[in-house]
């Protein structure tokens, strides 16, 4: 049976959370989010355009390691690249502000 197609970010968010249940996987995502954000700011501030491939590796590398080796699932980036990127930042923000722990009971 085919999975239901996700049509909105509101539908995507619980799916995304379900794919990031392990704290070590989330920690790898946070590392990638911080590294890629620092590199994006550096690239834009100093116009160092060759950093773009490094930004992708820094952002996706740790996250994909978490998915393939810890969660053992397929990264949502492959199916929903923009929502996945937005959800990475939302999850990181919610973790920093202590709101992430309140998200789990809403959906699981």
Is residue 97 in some structural domain?
yes
Q: DSSP string of 31-90?
A: HHHHHHHHHHHHHHHHT-GGGHHHHHHHHHHHHHHIIIIII-S--GGGT-HHHHHHHHHH
| Residue 39: pLDDT over 70 | yes
Range of the domain at 32: 21-107
- For residues 90 and 15, the answer to whether their CB atoms sit within 8 Å is no
- For residues 14 and 21, the answer to whether their CB atoms sit within 8 Å is no
Is residue 26 in some structural domain?
yes
Is residue 83 in some structural domain?
yes
Is residue 28 in some structural domain?
yes
- pLDDT tens-digit profile of 44-57? 999 999 999 999 99
Is residue 1 in some structural domain?
no
Is residue 60 in some structural domain?
yes
Q: What is the pTM of this model?
A: 0.92
Give the total number of structural domains in the chain: 1
């Amino acid at each position: 049976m085919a999975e239901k197609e996700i049509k909105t970010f509101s539908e995507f968010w619980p799916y995304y959370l379900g794919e990031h249940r392990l704290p070590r996987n989330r920690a790898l995502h946070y590392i990638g989010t911080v590294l890629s954000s620092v590199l994006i700011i550096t690239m834009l501030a100093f116009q160092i355009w060759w950093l773009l491939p490094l930004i992708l590796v820094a952002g996706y590398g740790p996250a994909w390691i978490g998915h393939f080796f810890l969660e053992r699932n397929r990264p949502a980036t492959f199916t929903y690249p923009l929502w996945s990127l937005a959800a990475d930042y939302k999850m990181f923000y919610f973790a920093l502000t202590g709101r992430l722990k309140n998200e789990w009971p809403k959906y699981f």
